């Protein structure tokens, strides 16, 4: 009985995906807990925040570390709630670029969807590099910590970085069916590490704790910027530790009941990340010891704090094993999500060689070509590191900026259109609360996008210059060139899958309003047809909720000779 109910649920989910214009090609293997594990592994907030303490301690000190996280946490919860509305209405792996196409002004659909898709794809591919980068920094720090005579070389860190990403690729390519188990293990390991490290360092450092005044009020500025700007620049640490929750959207085609479970998971991962990050950073600051020693340590701030707390080199390294493994889980999960995002955008013709990138391997049952592209580009980023660490760090910063911008675009368009463009959905913010969450999220995106391209220190030199703006500009240039070469002629936004239309099955249409439908054997919704390929609709409420939203398409007529849909738009 349960198996039959599960099968019916899968049919319903696949029919809903068909309504959005796509055939279900990926299996719904992830349970809600497994998906929460994947999303939390990507944020990995307490690990990412503690591993990147060097970003905030010189730029605001403990006040930036603690209150910057609270600020970023509230703003990211607003962004997550805002995007959860879209996810509930349109649960497709395309995520932001698909949502932009659905709610935008009709004439602007292709270009706005194209820009959003390119920014989102590039942000995710760049984010893959962050796990290997942070992991390699921690390992090189351990070597230097145990051997003061060790002189780190860039190629040492490069090889460790490649190792992280090679393991992530192999697991993604050949253990796809085991990914739900791996993400559950990632969630368990992360929470266990958070608890064990917190208890251990507090017990070992007792009673020699830093004062509460230091933890919550101490301000440090070693950047050369005015104090206010320095504190805001410290938000980059919190921004890195609380980004990537749109992973739920890009993996949404692999969980059951996506319209309900997706928004819950998106909000839960940000909430858990903010809470665990706040507690963990507070604990670290209470046991930090000499903060100047922590900032200047060649071993890295996190390992130095562990040593100051435990007074044991072996104990400090053992504790560091938890974040090292967490970063491997993060790299695996980010690579999974990046490949799915690349696959989704290629499926709609948004990338060069889209047909090749959109293929799902028939045996491995995953978009292997998209995974190849992600891995190759991440290795190229590593080669950039051999030439310039500043340029590589710019790629990491650009990933945070790009993802933030991709969050802001659909929210901004929805606000400009009076928050009236989303249909009835399982998760909806009430009127005033929706406006508040949208506007807070947009202000945060604008402020951080501007600030995160600032150089971290003054005076500005070639070595400390923030090349994030250059990396972001390169992405915009490439997307612009490809738009004029290919996109403006061939890209119209998310496509309707035409395979079944030739047989009189209207893919992408569920009976709107009641939610009832008649499913064919392949799980796609059918509607009455008067002739092969021509769909009839009883009234406006039965019109498809697809690319342009309900009520904008009068009907669709499939022409099997040209394999295109001729859409007759109604006046808006």
Domain locations in the chain as residue ranges: 31-503
Q: Is the pLDDT of residue 252 over 50?
A: yes
pLDDT band at 23 (very low <50, low <70, confident <90, very high): low
Per mean pLDDT, which of 12-21, 42-51, 136-145, 551-560 is the most reliable?
Answer: 136-145
CA 123-266-172 angle, 5° bins: 55
Kindly report the CATH class assigned to 31-503: mainly alpha
pTM for this one? 0.81
Q: What local confidence, expressed as pLDDT, does residue 513 receive?
A: 36
Which DSSP helix (H) or strand (E) runs through 529?
Answer: strand 529-531
Contact 541, 513 (CB under 8 A): yes
* Three-class secondary structure assignment of 117-142: HHHHHHHHHHHHHHHHHHHHHHHHHH
- By three-state DSSP, how is residue 169 classified? helix
Q: What local confidence, expressed as pLDDT, does residue 528 receive?
A: 34
Q: 27-31, 411-415, 489-493: lowest mean pLDDT where?
A: 27-31
Structure tokens, 2: 């349960």
The per-residue DSSP string of 219-272 comes to --B-SSS-HHHHHHHTHHHHHHHT--TTHHHHTGGGSSSHHHHHHHHHHHHHHH
Tell me the C-alpha distance between 179 and 186, whole Å: 10
Tell me the C-alpha distance between 169 and 369, whole Å: 12
Q: Is the pLDDT of residue 89 over 80?
A: yes
- Angle, in degrees to the nearest 10, between helices 368-387 and 109-146: 60
Contact 40, 273 (CB under 8 A): yes
Q: 240-249, 271-280, 317-326, 450-459: lowest mean pLDDT where?
A: 450-459
For residue 383, give every residue at least 6 positions away whose Cβ sits within 8 Å of its Cβ, in sequence order, or none: 158
CA torsion angle 446 447 452 453 (round to 10): 70
Q: What is the mean pLDDT of residues 46-69?
A: 88
Question: What phi and psi, each to the nearest 5 degrees, are found at residue 570?
Answer: -90, 155
Q: What local confidence, expressed as pLDDT, does residue 28 receive?
A: 55
Average confidence score pLDDT of the chain: 81
Q: Is the pLDDT of residue 67 over 90?
A: yes
Q: What local confidence, expressed as pLDDT, does residue 544 receive?
A: 34
Q: What local confidence, expressed as pLDDT, does residue 477 receive?
A: 87
Count of helices and strands (H, E) across the chain: 23, 6
Query: How do residues 340-358 score in pLDDT, each as one tens digit?
Result: 999 999 988 899 888 999 9
Query: How do residues 373-401 score in pLDDT, each as one tens digit?
Result: 999 999 998 888 887 777 777 787 888 88
Q: What local confidence, expressed as pLDDT, does residue 563 receive?
A: 36
For residue 114, give every residue at least 6 positions away whose Cβ sits within 8 Å of its Cβ, in sequence order, or none: 97, 350, 479, 483, 487, 491
């Amino acid at each position: 009985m349960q198996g039959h109910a599960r099968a019916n649920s899968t049919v319903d989910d696949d029919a809903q995906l068909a309504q959005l214009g796509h055939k279900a090609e990926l299996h719904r293997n992830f349970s809600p807990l497994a998906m929460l594990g994947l999303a939390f592994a990507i944020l990995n907030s307490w690990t990412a925040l503690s591993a990147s303490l060097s970003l905030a301690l010189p730029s605001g000190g403990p006040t930036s570390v603690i209150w910057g996280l609270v600020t970023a946490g509230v703003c990211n919860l607003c962004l997550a709630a805002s995007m959860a509305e879209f996810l509930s209405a349109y649960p497709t792996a395309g995520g932001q670029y698909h949502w932009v196409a659905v709610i935008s002004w009709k004439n602007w659909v292709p270009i706005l969807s194209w820009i959003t898709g390119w920014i989102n794809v590039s942000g995710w591919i760049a984010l893959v590099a962050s796990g290997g980068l942070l992991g390699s920094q921690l390992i090189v720090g351990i070597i230097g910590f145990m051997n003061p005579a060790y002189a780190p070389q860039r190629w040492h860190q490069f090889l460790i970085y490649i190792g992280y990403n090679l393991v992530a690729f192999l697991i993604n390519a050949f253990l796809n069916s085991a990914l739900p188990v791996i993400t559950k293990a990632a969630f368990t390991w992360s929470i266990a590490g958070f608890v064990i490290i917190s208890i251990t360092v507090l017990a070992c450092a007792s009673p020699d704790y830093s004062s509460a005044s230091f933890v919550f009020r101490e301000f440090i500025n070693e950047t050369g910027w005015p104090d206010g700007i320095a504190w805001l620049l410290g938000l980059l640490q919190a921004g890195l530790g609380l980004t990537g929750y749109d992973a739920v959207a890009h993996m949404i085609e692999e969980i059951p009941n996506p319209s309900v479970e997706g928004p819950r998971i998106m909000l839960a991962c940000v909430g858990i990340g903010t809470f665990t990050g706040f507690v963990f950073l507070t604990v670290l600051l209470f046991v930090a010891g000499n903060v100047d020693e922590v900032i200047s340590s060649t071993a890295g701030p996190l390992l130095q704090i562990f040593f100051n707390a435990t007074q044991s080199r072996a104990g400090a390294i053992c504790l560091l094993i938890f974040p090292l493994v967490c970063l491997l889980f993060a790299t695996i999960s980010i690579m999974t999500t990046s490949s799915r995002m690349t696959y989704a955008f290629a499926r709609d013709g948004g990338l060069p060689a889209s047909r090749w990138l959109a293929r799902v391997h028939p045996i491995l049952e995953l978009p292997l070509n998209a995974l190849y592209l992600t891995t190759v580009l991440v290795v190229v980023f590593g080669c950039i590191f051999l030439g310039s660490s500043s340029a590589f760090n710019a790629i990491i910063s650009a990933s945070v900026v790009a993802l933030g911008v991709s969050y802001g675009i659909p929210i901004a368009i929805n606000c400009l259109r009076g928050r009236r463009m989303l249909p009835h959905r399982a998760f909806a913010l009430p009127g005033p609360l929706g406006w508040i969450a949208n506007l807070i999220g947009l202000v945060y995106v604008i402020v951080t996008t501007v600030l995160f391209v600032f150089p971290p220190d003054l005076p500005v030199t070639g070595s400390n210059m923030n090349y994030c703006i250059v990396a972001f500009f390169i992405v915009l240039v490439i997307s612009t060139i490809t738009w004029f070469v290919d996109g403006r002629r061939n890209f119209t936004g998310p496509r309707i899958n035409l395979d079944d239309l030739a047989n009189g099955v209207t893919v992408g249409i569920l009976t709107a309003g009641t939610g009832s439908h008649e499913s064919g054997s392949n799980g796609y919704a059918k509607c009455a047809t008067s002739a092969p390929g021509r769909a009839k609709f009883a009234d406006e409420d039965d019109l498809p909720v697809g690319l342009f939203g309900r009520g904008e398409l009068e009907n669709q007529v499939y022409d099997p000779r040209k394999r295109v849909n001729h859409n007759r738009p109604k006046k808006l």
